Structure 1
Amino acid sequence: MGKWLSVLIFFVLLLSGCETEELNKPSPSKLDSEKSAANQTVNGKGLNSQSIVPLKVKEADFQFIIDWETDETLLFVERKNSRSIVSAYDLLSGVKKEVYVSDEPIVSAQLSPSREYLLIHSASTAYKALLTVIRLPGQQIVFQEEIESKEVHYEWNGYDETKILVSAFYEDWSFRSYLIDIEKRSLQEMNLSQPFAVWLKQSRFLYLDWGNDEPRITAPLTIYENGNEKHVKNEEKFYYIDGWKNFLLAIAPSDKDPSKAIFLFYDHELQPLYSFEIPHLTDFSGWVIPTYDLAGKNFFIIEPKKSGEADLYNDGFRLVKRNIKSGKEEVILKSVESAPLLCSPKGKSCLTGNLYEHIIFINEKKMASVIEFE
């Protein structure tokens, strides 16, 4: 499973058949024994500010961190000898293991919600995308195809991770939407009027209907199912949505105070679960979406302390954890930079920074470096 509606996002996905093949896997070695021993030395306490072994990497080789594979392991990309390498790095032991190698530059990659699959977007030209999905247990390619596109945006189906919604954008910013079925190795074109849809159920999609006639700053929610579109919650207007299995997030300007945004969480039947309001910042295109991530039922967000114009704002940000089920709110850091946020599966640690170079230990409320460039 982090999509500004005002800006086209590029990312990954893939198409039809390519025969499943087994990747080369490293044989058991001394490193595996060292990893096991290192995990035992922390006595099951897991990752914390005393146990972390930062990733040491050459700055010229480092590309980007993909995500947390587990609560202690990161997936990241390096470029070495004209090859792109995806590796898993254990922050407790300092052990690195190759996961996937591409002869083409890797543009982006994303884990499926359960972290069983990894989708990799690599490209040799600006107008083609090689989309590869591997199953991490066994490091097995399960899908691979090249498609024409300038940029790619995709959404994993949290209810059935063998299905992915893909939006392929072209040079004139026209787009086509496709439904990928990994098991059937099929590609079906979808007649969606908007590109940035999220899964509402196994076969239902939700998006904001921005129309095509004139610019808007808010839009109604629209459900797409079996070729039909239906507006819902017509009395409310939103400017951003996101979705996970069992949760939908919609953001709208507050009716009570236009200088604030209201974050509304719904279940898959669009029944309200939880909401809160925070100050929001504006830019030339509308409202700025704060960086956030969801781990279980805990929603982490780096939010501004006051409202204002983004270009002129200097009143600071804070990291806050909110529980969608209980409504409990906790300030993790009173002062933090506004930067991307990526939290571990159980929400015990979060990465932040433009390169995800910092780690925040949630229970300790401490920050440290997670990357040491050589």
Structure 2
Amino acid sequence: MTTLELNQVILHHLLMDYKHPFVTSHGKVEKKDFYIIEIIDDQGNAGFGETEAFTTPWYTEETTETTRIMLENHLIPMLLQTPVKHPNELGKLFHSIRRNQMAKAAIEGALWDLYAKKLGKPLFQVIGGEKPSIDVGVSIGIKPTDQELLETIEEKCLQGYQRVKLKVKKGEELRVLEKVRTAFPSLSLMIDANGAYSWADQERLLALDQFDLLMIEQPFAQDDFVEHAKLQALLQTPICLDESIHTFNDLKTAIALQSCQIVNIKLSRVGGIQNAKDMHDYAKRRDMPLWCGGMLEAGIGRAHSLAIATLPQFTLPADTAGSAHYWERDIIYPEIKTEKGKIHLSQDPGIGYAVDYEALAYYRMEKRIHTRKK
């Protein structure tokens, strides 16, 4: 195994407009303000990663700006100063940096892309993925009217998505679900309130059993494993944990306490591909179903999520809709497309998609170059 000789890390600061605002119980997301990490080796090969934090810390404590600070002040200097042979060494290299999972995941993703390209193999095969295509669902934000929501669901069903996730607002969910279930009685359906409920809402949550939901995602706060376990014991509908699962120990805690029946794994939230693989293997040994969540990614982050979703314990449809669902123009080509509810994995080396440098330049606000000292 040869050492990865790294020469440069380039941060491309991009600002992209979503085709449609994405509304959750925490607010509205209209733009993606983020960084593309480009790692270049001594032979000119490049690997790409993407930061996925939002501009405010509503999802985790990280933001676009904190990821930049961590990358430039800590992670990039450590990577350029210390020779590595394999991306799985980054966990040990960055061990002294607590949490900051999204910053770590972005730079690790770029190194995995570079590593797979040097091997001449698709990333999903390099990490042990087994599925040449994955089933995909779609996440739909809160809409201004019920009619607009129903029309959006119908559109996505006609496009072949195999599961619909609805963002819901506490106090509106029962009324909305009654309308949706009346219009779509057999739809594979789940809801997500991003931790907006408390134990005082248990009767409202128990009433959700009537709607035959695939799962209820993250009803309580991200650090409340105990009350999730109490609620799951009362609910027939499976609880899925999302924001609660940041580390391997979080997953162990959730399984030990029976806080949920399903886990959502997002690469950025758990610190990258190696951590996701370790968590996948643990969940598989304990027969815990997984699915790959989305973070409103641009094409590079979306391609990384596709790769992890090919691991065998990811048995439920992923939140990885095609590029056109989010963007007028993505930053990769060809764009990621869904076909009859599936995305077929590219067999090209690395993430399987080429970076559209014209689009990168179009969206770019700033370019910051870090070079290894000789």
Shorter-chain-normalised TM-score: which range? under 0.3
Higher helix share: 2
Higher strand share: 1
Q: TM-score under structure 1 normalisation? A: 0.27
Q: TM-score under structure 2 normalisation? A: 0.27
Q: Which has the higher contact order (CA 8 A, sep 6+)?
A: 2
Q: Which has the larger radius of gyration?
A: 1
